[in-house]
Each structure stands twice: as structure tokens, then as C-alpha cells.
Amino acid sequence: MMRGLLAFAALFVAVFGKDTFEGHQVFRIVAKNDVQLSLIKNMENMVHFELDFWREVTDLATPVDVRVPFHTLSSFKTYLEIQDIDYSIMIEDLQVMLDEELEEMESAARAAKPRDTDSFDYSTYHTISEIYSFQDMLVAENPNLVSKVVIGQSYQDRPLNVLKFSTGGSNRPAIWIDTGIHSREWVTQASGTWFAKKIVNDYGRDAALTTILDNMDIFLEIVTNPDGFSYTHTNNRMWRKTRKPNSGSSCVGVDPNRNWDAGFGGAGASGNPCSEVYRGPKAHSEPEVKSIVDFVKAHGNIKAFISIHAYSQMLLYPYGYTRTPAADQRELDTLAKKAITDLASLYRTRYRYGSIINTIYQASGGTIDWTYNQGIKYSYTFELRDTGRYGFILPANQIIPTAQETWLALMAIMDHTFKNPY
């Protein structure tokens, strides 16, 4: 403990004095008698050794600790040996020890459970249990604004948690946002966590968001595919689909973004269980999808539905399964343009926008094709950063910038939805 404190003091000096202690050693010196004790005391005056006494001479019973710089080590040892003064090396290389200690402290800080959502680290990727704890903390801290709705269970019985942001009313028109439906797209769950906190922070402070929440509800599902997400932490970072086994196949999982009842069975998805875009045995076969379908139908008053993916830097609207333009194509296109212009205003991140089938590829059984066909006009899909440099494994230092810029686009969509009731 003492050594730790002394080391910390040295570190403090090092950080502010910009010293380095590479190769420095810390000696523990034991005087055998009073003569030696005087000799050791006298060493304080031997400036050529450049000694730094950590524990100074007191009495015969107490050892003396001294830091010796690298370049005087050899002459100092010789001096001690000539005087027949006993010593041992407590620290072989002070800089190495300081570096290790700093690493430990940082690692402990990282691993420490946040006490509240203010001390939660938004700039790092989290596990499912950390995100679920975050959700509970956010609700506990904001009981009048946030509640948790469990809309179902995943295949492996994990709860499907949705945060409801509401200032009251009864079944108000609502906005739905989901992240993490494809589990390997980690920047999306991380952004969803940031969005949750952002909403709570901005209510009562940001005029636009406050007006929206005074009149509408926001539903946010952060970990939309929890089984897949857990699997990306434990087994395979590149896992995309659900984790439901497929009968008659050794391949696991269904693509939850090909499992919706919109153009289901058509081109733009696969019938092969081993495919990353396997549509599943039937529409809504996956509980992760069915739960949202049931929720949306039961609610009946959702006015905007935004499903968030990564990567490619795109903002997309229906359709994916057909080239027939959506009836509201012009309005959706104009709004998309506004949203990505707002997004780019922050860090100049460039997004492309358009219908799914034109901009990225034909895809059948997709989420927002279904929601649009249910009458939810403002149905959009995002593909967040980047464009392929790091792809799914986006550096954590891009989480917050990504979330911040995406939020501007989300606000554009939510604001337009609020101002254009239908």
C-alpha cells in the first residue's frame, strides 16, 4: 500500500514534471550500526549520485528507501559495496512499474460499474448486461419521463426491452427507433445508448425535442437482437443474424431484416439457412421480429419508424423488394435530403440517400417495407459510419461523433413527423 502511494507520488511528479524513470531502481538500504547510519545520512549530500530518498534515515530499525537514476546505478552500487552496506533492489525498473500501475488504474476505471447514467462511458462498446443495467438506471433516474416496456423474449429467452419516453397522454402518436437488429453492427447499439441519454438531457432544454415529447412518445429498442449481440461478444464478432437453429441444417440463424412480411419469398433474400440473408421458414418466424410486429399493430398510432444499421453511410426509404416507387417517394426523398444535410453539418460526414433498391441492393422481407405498408409513412433505415475502412469494427472513438451527427438527422425526421400529422 505504502509502495503504491509512493509510486503514485512519483507518477504525479512524472506526469506534471514530465520526468521519465526508465531504468531507475529503488534500493532498500539497511544499516548494520550507527556508523553505517551516519554514512547513509551523509549520502544525502552526495549530489553526484542524484539520489531521491523515498524514506529517509531515522533509526537502525528502519530501512532507508532511495530511488537511484539509471546513469548513477553502477557507481552507487560500487559505493555501497565498498562500505559493506547491505541493500536490496525493491523496484527493478521504476518506469515499468509506473506504466503497469497506470494500466491497472485505467483498466479498473473502465471495468468499474457506473453509479449512474452520468458516469456511464458512452465512448466505449458495452456488453448486453451493461446496456440492460444502463436502461434500468435511466428509468430509475427519470421516472416521470422514461419507462421500460418488455415487448417479448428472444429465442434464447432474453428480454426484448424497449424504452418509452413519454410526458403523458394516452396512446399518443409515436416515433419508433431501433438499433442492433444486426448484432455485429456495434456502433448502432452504442449510438442507441447515447440517444437514450440525449433524449433525457434535452427534454426541457432543447425547444424542438421538448415540443416533440410534449405531444408524441418515443420508443427506443437498443438491443433488438440480444442473442446475436451476446454471441458477438463471446464467439464471433461478425455474427449478423438471430441464433435460432434451422431444422434440417447445421447452420444457425435467420436474417431479421429479411423476415418481415413485405415481399417475403421474393428476390432479395435467400432460402438457404447458411446464408447471411436467410429469410427464415416463414414471415415473422423470429420472436425478435414478431414482438415488434405485435407491438406496432397493438399500438396503432406510430407515425415514424426508424431502423438503424451500419455500415455504408446511407439514409434509405422504401422499397427494397420492388422497383415500384413508394407513393410518398417525393416527400421521403426531400426529407432524407434535409436529414443528411443536417447530419453533415457537424463533421462533414457524407451520406447518400434514396430508396433501398436503388441505393444499396434489392432486399425483400425488410423492416421498413413492412412498416411503410402498415401505413407508417415516415419509415427510414440508416446505415451509419463508415464506408468500409473499418466497417463493422468501427473504432470506439467514433461512437460519440457518429451518435451526435446521426441525432441531427433523427431530429429532422422527428420534427417533420410532428409538424406533418396524418
Q: Active-site residue numbers?
A: 383
> If binding is defined by CB under 8 A, does position 208 make contact with another protein?
no
Closer residue to another protein in complex, CB, 67/279: 279
The Cα–Cα gap between 63 and 398 comes to: 51
- Of 35-74, binders to another protein (CB under 8 A) are none
Binding-site member from 58, 83, 124, 345 for another protein (CB under 8 A): 124
157 contacts: CB under 8 Å, gap ≥ 6: none
Cell numbers 432524407 correspond to 336
The β-bridge relationship of strands 302-310 and 378-384 is: parallel
Cα angle for residues 253, 379, 133 (degrees, 5° grid): 55
Binding-site member from 49, 354, 400, 401 for another protein (CB under 8 A): 354
The kind and range of the H/E element at 287 are helix 287-299
The Cα–Cα gap between 373 and 369 comes to: 6
- Of 171-200, binders to another protein (CB under 8 A) are none
Asked whether the beta carbons of 175 and 302 are under 8 A apart, the reply is yes
Q: Which part of the chain contacts another protein (CB under 8 A), choosing from 21-29, 66-74, 212-220, 236-244? A: 236-244
In this structure, the dihedral spanned by the alpha carbons of residues 248, 253, 258 and 261, taken in order and rounded to 10 degrees, is: 70
Instruction: Tell me the closest approach of the beta carbon of residue 301 to another protein, in angstroms.
Output: 33
Strands (E), 40-117: 52-55, 64-68, 86-91
Cell numbers 434451422 correspond to 246
Give the total of residues touching another protein (CB under 8 A): 39
Binding-site member from 361, 375, 420, 422 for another protein (CB under 8 A): 361
Q: Which part of the chain contacts another protein (CB under 8 A), choosing from 162-170, 215-223, 294-302, 384-392? A: 384-392
Binding string, residues 312-351; x marks residues near another protein by CB under 8 A: x-------------------------------------x-
Q: Under DSSP, is residue 353 helix (H, G, I), strand (E, B) or coil?
A: strand
Instruction: Tell me the closest approach of the beta carbon of residue 255 to another protein, in angstroms.
Output: 8
Q: What b/e string do you get for 103-142 counting C-beta neighbours within 10 Å, with b at 16 or more?
A: eeeeeeeeeeeeeebeebebeebbebebbbbbbebbbeeb
> If binding is defined by CB under 8 A, does position 390 make contact with another protein?
yes
Instruction: Tell me the closest approach of the beta carbon of residue 418 to another protein, in angstroms.
Output: 28
Closer residue to another protein in complex, CB, 94/315: 315
> If binding is defined by CB under 8 A, does position 274 make contact with another protein?
yes
Closer residue to another protein in complex, CB, 135/257: 257
Binding string, residues 73-112; x marks residues near another protein by CB under 8 A: ----------------------------------------
Cell numbers 423470429 correspond to 286
The Cα–Cα gap between 315 and 349 comes to: 12
- Of 243-262, binders to another protein (CB under 8 A) are 250-253, 255
Q: Which positions touch another protein (CB under 8 A)?
A: 124-125, 232-233, 235-238, 240, 250-253, 255, 274-277, 312, 350, 352-354, 358-361, 387-398
